[in-house]
Amino acid sequence: MRSLTIALALFALTLLIGVGAVVHADGLPRPMIVGGTDVPDPNPYTYQVSVGTANSYFCGGSLIAANWVLSAAHCFVDAQTGAVTDAATLVVRVGLRLQSTATIDNNRAVIQLITHPSYDRATSLNDIALLQLATPASADWVVPTADAANDPALTVPGTTSTATGWGGLLGYDPSQSEPTGGQQYPDILHVVQMPIAASEICGINATQICAGEVAGGKDTCQGDSGGPLVVSNGPGGYIQVGVVSNGPGCAAAGYYGVYTRVGSFHNWIATVINPVTLLPQAYLPLVMR
């Protein structure tokens, strides 16, 4: 699990960052970008959104349609009770590079939150969620998502993947709950590139992806949960293959970040976003001969 809470003084346009990572009820810290860099200006990762409440940021997400955000279920499900966050309390902020520049124009209310019905808090399987926005963002900011057909070619081990987020900057060993001396969180969106690793190396489920360097040093970490893992689509753009889910420590040697495999959930996403409306059936009169 890789989420945290960061207080935002939005009207003062000042980012108030806590001394250390805020820990969820299960006692586990949540992810951040480690070993990355500031995103350039103008921001090429316009699909990245900030998810929180009126005064906080705790997870990332991605625009997969003008009015739909893809994120992680664990961001919204209490680790102990399984209670789901009230959608009315959530705020999605779009079009941001710096959290401190957020204004009312960046805010989007959430009218519907749907976590995967088979999300398992104990194993982190099916760690995926969708948020419907009350007001759409720019359609130009949307990132396409992988499906079951193109996923295998997009996620071949060794493929360079890209993760973005406002999570912590310092890596730490799985035996720790945070870096020695506390974690550091950026105001500016960060980006890191990592190779996708073979599933058997990470010991993950077929509906998951892992990525990172065997020597460590690059990873997502606390605060990056729900954010996108993308790969090149060839013509210079990106396609989303993963959602930041969990991982032992952050950027430690011999460990990898774990991501929900988007292609495995393509049909579920499509069903939620474009529900099939059943038309009334027409019954023809029975003609007796």
| pLDDT at res. 106 | 96
The greatest distance separating any two alpha carbons of the chain, rounded to the nearest whole angstrom, comes to: 89
Q: Which two tokens stand for residue 34?
A: 């480690």
Compute φ and ψ for 139, nearest 5 degrees: -65, -20
| Residue 263 structure tokens | 């292609």
With the C-alpha atoms ordered 207, 246, 96, 235, is the resulting torsion angle positive or negative? negative
Residues 222 and 4: beta-carbon distance below 8 Å: yes
- Low-confidence stretches of the chain (pLDDT beneath 50): 6-32, 277-289
Give yes or no: 74 in active site: yes
Given 74, 116, 161, 224, the catalytic residue: 74
Selection from 30, 37, 32 nearest residue 191 by Cα: 37
By the 8 A CB rule, do 136 and 67 touch?
yes
Residue 117, token pair as written in the block: 């019905």
Measured distance CA(30)–CA(23) in Å, rounded: 7
**28 φψ region: left (φ > 0), alpha (ψ -120 to 50), beta (else):** beta
Strand runs labelled E in 47-189: 48-53, 56-65, 68-71, 91-93, 107-115, 129-133, 160-165
| CATH numbers and ranges of domains, the chain | 6-31+46-141 (2.40.10.10), 151-263 (2.40.10.10)
Helices assigned H by DSSP within 160-265: 199-202
Q: Which of 3, 161, 225, 245 is catalytic?
A: 225
Asked if the peptide bond before residue 42 counts as cis, ω within 30 degrees of 0, the response is: yes
Set 127, 151, 219, 224: catalytic member: 127
Give 213's strand partners.
none
Burial class (CB in 10 A: 0-12, 13-18, 19+), 187: middle
Active site residue 175: no
Query: Can you read off the two tokens belonging to residue 133?
Result: 């926005």
* Residues composing the chain: 289
What pLDDT shows up at residue 235? 85
What pLDDT score was predicted for residue 5?
54
